[in-house]
Amino acid sequence: MLRFKEQMGWSQRILSNKLGVDVGTVSRWERGLGGPSSSAWKRFRNLQLSQSEDSPGATAL
């Protein structure tokens, strides 16, 4: 998730807004203090797929 966020040039706030979670939640995930729920993982995967479709040549992580 961190690598994808950095590749997109997004801040934690942008990613949290796109996933519908608090920015502190993304921060905890990045620090290894817990992980996304199954619904958050699904939203993240859908976000990856939508971004790869928008960017020819981009690969989903």
pLDDT 10s digits, 4-16: 999 999 999 999 9
- Nearest alpha carbon to residue 12 among 26, 31, 1, 30: 26
Query: What pLDDT, in 10s, does the model give residues 28-37?
Result: 999 999 999 9
pTM flag (> 0.95): no
The crossing angle, in degrees rounded to 10, of helices 12-19 and 23-30 is 110
